[in-house]
């Protein structure tokens, strides 16, 4: 029975560890999402579909997304330029739209069946690209009815896209139509680039550096071959594209040159755009604002299951604590576990308090038998690298403080600061000096010091051996003791008498004033300041070298 109970505790601890780790992973993912979003955009676009709009209300920014769509349309035009490819593309789109129509009409309503038959007849009869334009115009109203009957937004959007593609194919079936369509797309791109430069849509998402990189990329290429005649040629071309508008940003001019210059093929231009510009534009986003005036954040919807689990765990732990009488009163449990209480509040800012659960995980792992935490390789590794981080951070702070201290000393103000600090406590220093002199004068250790000094004089002075060498050692010791006693009493009585008299105390205070004045005068001496600065700066530099030494290199995991 006891073994089963123990196994249940082990299982519960394991579940707690897994849930806490999952929640912390989600919290860290959310906290770093916007920072790592460019990485996800490039390598894991599925993450954006899951998190962008549903959780943070993020959508691709219309301005940059529109320009990318223009480039994709331009790329599509180049693809269907070949008549053979054009025909194959038309046939493919036609087959897709017929399948889409069949998917929409699933009811037995006679009217819908008639519309379906009419649409299918129209599109079945269309075998050549030359026939598509008029047929699409004739069935436009039927198309609108078709979209209104579809309850599937994806199918409706798909049919609408196919209709647009077919209309495009109908317009570019001739060389003239293809050229006009391309010029129209390029003109729209000119307008859109001016809009991007003037409104800077990257600013809202904090990616202003991206537009600078985009500008720099194309301008660098243009500046390398720019001439006066070339510049005038493309200015005139852009003015014509804009319907006579002569004022425009230089970035619009260089993009006009980029897409229209004959020196490189369209495939090369598309490759440059896809490799160097597309991601810089595509990663830009617009974030919707909620009713509270703040950016949309539906993170709590993801966090709700964890919140419910932790709430139940907290209530259960509180109940167990009451049963086992761990605290003096039942209401003390949430006070001791205040970080859990704050972490349970459904407020985004308070979720950071759940990071404290890392410590609880460590305790759970250490007290349970799930894994041998403490002296195992994982714990030692975490501790080792934790100490490295702690040492590096403390060293950086210490070195910064010492460097600032050196700069302050080099300014020549350090010695003056010290003397000013002493001068501001002048009266307190006088009182302390008088009191300490009284204590020293009445201290028996002063008598012992005098006796020791006189004994050394009798034994080591040059005249000692000649004058007192014939005396026994005991006599010399008594002589030293008597002399030191007389001197000690004389000094002690004289000092005490002096300090009991106001004039004597004033003399001591005058002496202190003199010393402090001399210190202040010394602080004004350029040579003393220079010497003090050199010594102190060198001392701090040695301390910095000692602090900067990688002590963790001497330790092992």
Structural domain boundaries enclosing 267? 175-287
Question: Do residues 492 and 444 share a domain?
Answer: yes
- Mean pLDDT across the stretch 460-474? 53
pLDDT of residue 72: 93
Question: Do residues 268 and 333 share a domain?
Answer: no
Domain assignment present for 219: yes
Question: Do residues 240 and 321 share a domain?
Answer: no
Q: What's the pLDDT tens digit per position in 273-324?
A: 999 999 999 999 999 988 888 888 888 888 888 888 888 888 888 888 888 8
pLDDT of residue 535: 76
Percentage of the chain beyond pLDDT 90 is: 24
Domain assignment present for 401: no
Domain assignment present for 162: no
Domain assignment present for 390: no
Question: Do residues 352 and 422 share a domain?
Answer: no
How many domains would you assign to the chain?
3
- Using the predicted structure, report yes or no on whether residue 341 has a pLDDT greater than 90: no
Question: Do residues 359 and 330 share a domain?
Answer: yes
Cβ-defined contacts of 516-523 (< 8 Å, 24+): 516/419, 516/422, 516/423, 516/426, 516/429, 519/419, 519/422, 520/419, 520/423, 522/415, 522/419, 523/415, 523/416, 523/418, 523/419
Name the domain boundary from 367, 398, 429: 367
Question: Do residues 316 and 420 share a domain?
Answer: no
Domain assignment present for 15: yes
Percentage of the chain beyond pLDDT 70 is: 60
Question: Do residues 447 and 363 share a domain?
Answer: no
pLDDT of residue 220: 93
Q: What's the pLDDT tens digit per position in 424-457?
A: 777 777 777 777 776 666 666 666 666 566 666 6
Q: How far apart are CA 237 and CA 257, in angstroms?
A: 9
Average pLDDT over the chain, rounded to an integer: 75
Question: Do residues 277 and 309 share a domain?
Answer: no
Computed over its alpha carbons, how large is the radius of gyration of the chain? Answer: 44
Is the distance from CB of 189 to CB of 71 less than 8 angstroms?
A: yes
Domain assignment present for 540: no
Which of 25-34, 247-256, 291-300, 374-383 shows the highest mean pLDDT? 247-256
Q: How far apart are CA 99 and CA 90, in angstroms?
A: 14
């Amino acid at each position: 029975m006891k073994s089963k109970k123990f196994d249940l505790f082990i299982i519960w601890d394991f579940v707690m560890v897994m849930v806490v780790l999952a929640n912390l992973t989600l919290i860290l993912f959310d906290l770093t999402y916007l920072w790592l979003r460019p990485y996800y955009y490039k390598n894991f676009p599925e993450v954006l579909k899951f998190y962008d709009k549903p959780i943070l209300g993020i959508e691709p920014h219309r301005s940059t997304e529109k320009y990318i769509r223009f480039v994709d349309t331009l790329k599509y035009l180049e693809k269907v330029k070949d008549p053979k490819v054009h025909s194959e593309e038309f046939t493919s789109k036609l087959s897709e739209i017929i399948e889409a129509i069949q998917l929409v009409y699933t009811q037995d309503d006679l009217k819908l069946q008639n519309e379906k038959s009419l649409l299918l007849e129209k599109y079945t009869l269309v075998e050549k690209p030359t026939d598509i334009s008029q047929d699409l115009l004739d069935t436009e109203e039927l198309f609108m009815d078709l979209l209104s009957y579809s309850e599937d937004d994806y199918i409706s959007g798909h049919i609408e896209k196919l209709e647009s593609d077919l209309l495009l194919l109908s317009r570019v079936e001739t060389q003239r139509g293809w050229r006009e369509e391309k010029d129209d797309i390029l003109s729209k791109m000119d307008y859109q680039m001016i809009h991007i430069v003037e409104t800077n849509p990257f600013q809202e998402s904090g990616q202003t550096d991206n537009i600078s990189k985009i500008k720099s990329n194309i301008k660098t290429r243009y500046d390398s071959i720019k001439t006066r005649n070339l510049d005038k040629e493309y200015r005139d071309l852009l003015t014509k594209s804009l319907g006579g508008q002569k004022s425009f940003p230089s970035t619009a001019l260089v993009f006009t040159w980029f897409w229209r210059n004959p020196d490189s093929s369209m495939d090369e231009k598309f490759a440059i755009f896809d490799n160097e510009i597309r991601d810089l534009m595509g990663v830009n986003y617009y974030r919707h604002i909620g009713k509270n005036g703040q950016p949309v954040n539906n993170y709590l919807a993801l966090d709700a299951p964890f919140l419910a689990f932790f709430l139940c765990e907290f209530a259960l732990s509180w109940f167990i604590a009451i049963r086992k009488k761990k605290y003096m009163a039942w209401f003390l449990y949430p006070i001791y576990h205040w970080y859990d209480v704050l972490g349970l509040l459904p407020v985004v800012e308070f979720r950071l308090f759940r990071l404290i659960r890392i410590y609880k995980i460590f305790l759970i792992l250490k007290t349970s038998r799930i894994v041998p935490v403490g002296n195992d390789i994982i714990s030692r590794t975490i501790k080792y690298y934790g100490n490295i981080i702690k040492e590096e951070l403390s060293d950086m702070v210490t070195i910064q403080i010492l460097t600032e201290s050196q700069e302050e000393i080099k300014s020549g103000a350090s010695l003056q600061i010290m003397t000013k600090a002493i001068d501001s406590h002048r009266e307190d220093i006088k009182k302390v000096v008088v009191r300490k002199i009284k204590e020293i004068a009445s201290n028996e250790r002063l008598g012992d010091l005098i006796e020791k000094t006189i004994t050394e004089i009798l034994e080591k002075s040059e005249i000692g051996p000649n004058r007192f060498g014939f005396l026994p050692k005991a006599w010399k010791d008594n002589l030293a003791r008597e002399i030191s006693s007389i001197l000690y009493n004389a000094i002690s009585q004289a000092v005490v008498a002096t300090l009991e008299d106001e004039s004597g105390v004033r003399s001591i205070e005058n002496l202190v004033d003199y010393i402090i004045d001399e210190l202040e005068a010394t602080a004004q001496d350029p040579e003393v300041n220079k010497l003090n600065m050199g010594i102190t700066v060198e001392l701090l530099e040695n301390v910095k070298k000692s602090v900067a030494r990688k002590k963790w290199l001497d330790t092992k995991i």
